[in-house]
Amino acid sequence: MVHSGAMTKEMLGIDIGGTGIKGAPVDLSDGSFLEDRFRVDTPQPSRPKAVAKVVAEVVDHFGWDGPIGVTYPGVVIDGVTLTAANVSKRWIGRDAKELLEKATGRDVTLLNDADAAGLAEMRLGRGRGRMGTVVMLTLGTGIGSALFTDGVLVRNTEFGHIEINGKDAETRASAKVRNDKGLSWHAWAERLSEYMARLEALISPSLIIVGGGVSRKAEHFLPLITGVRAEIVPAKLVNNAGIVGAALAAADALADDPRASVRAR
């Protein structure tokens, strides 16, 4: 199947997480998956070359021979990964885009995982058409964040590392912490309320979108959050948003690159 860059209808998105690496070819019109999602456990330790090998495995699984979008759980600037809260510290300062392109043999668009999830929700999910300040929070191994002002992404915000009681917020309020400590929904909602209230004091969002796998159970904890003025809603794309956003970012890059006028699959 061949598409011009401006008319790309599908793209492979891959989401690198602290516990799993997952991907799927995405229908860019609605964010649906064109094939079943493929997931592989994140190698432990999650060193760059080991993770790149798994990303290549995901690409090969789908027989994909065009550009790809890939997310990374940390700050990404010009293809270089600058933080590593939930993966090996060997990622810090690494030209990850180059590494992944060598491992996969594909052109790679690399971006922060929460930024990708936010992009998907703003284009195809609960943030669509919303202006003003919108923040997407992904609750998983850590807490990822994506900030938008009038629909424009402010990259690499990393609001999961806001300090609360002398600790990173994500060490108190991530979904992993809830599981590890066996917190009840009420107890976890108290921690999320404290975190969201602190975040709201800093950026005054009109909308907070909550994603990550736990957002499938939003009815158990979102109604329990108190002390926050902003509207709080679960993500439409749940924990598929990272994959979808990665695919959208890669399609954007393809459309903007005059050298990449044709993609074959």
What is the chain's length? 265
Weakly modelled stretches of the chain, pLDDT under 50: 1-6, 259-265
Query: What pLDDT does 145 receive?
Result: 97
Query: What pLDDT does 194 receive?
Result: 97
In the 8-state DSSP scheme, what is residue 160? G
Is the CB of residue 209 less than 8 Å from the CB of residue 127? yes
In sequence order, what E strands does 49-165 have? 68-72, 76-77, 80-81, 94-95, 108-112, 133-139, 143-149, 152-154, 163-164
Query: What pLDDT does 65 receive?
Result: 93
The amino acid sitting at 167 is K
Query: What pLDDT does 7 receive?
Result: 55
Domains and CATH numbers, the chain: 2-112+240-264 (3.30.420.40), 126-235 (3.30.420.40)
Mean pLDDT of the chain: 93
Query: What pLDDT does 5 receive?
Result: 37
Query: What pLDDT does 148 receive?
Result: 98
| Sign for the pseudo-dihedral over CA of 139, 144, 149, 153 | negative
Q: Coil, helix or strand for 228? A: coil
Query: What pLDDT does 264 receive?
Result: 29
Query: What pLDDT does 195 receive?
Result: 98
Closest C-alpha among 122, 124, 110, 118 to residue 32: 124
CA angle 36, 38, 42 (to 5 degrees): 160
Burial of 155 (0-12, 13-18, 19+ CB in 10 A): middle
pTM over 0.85: yes
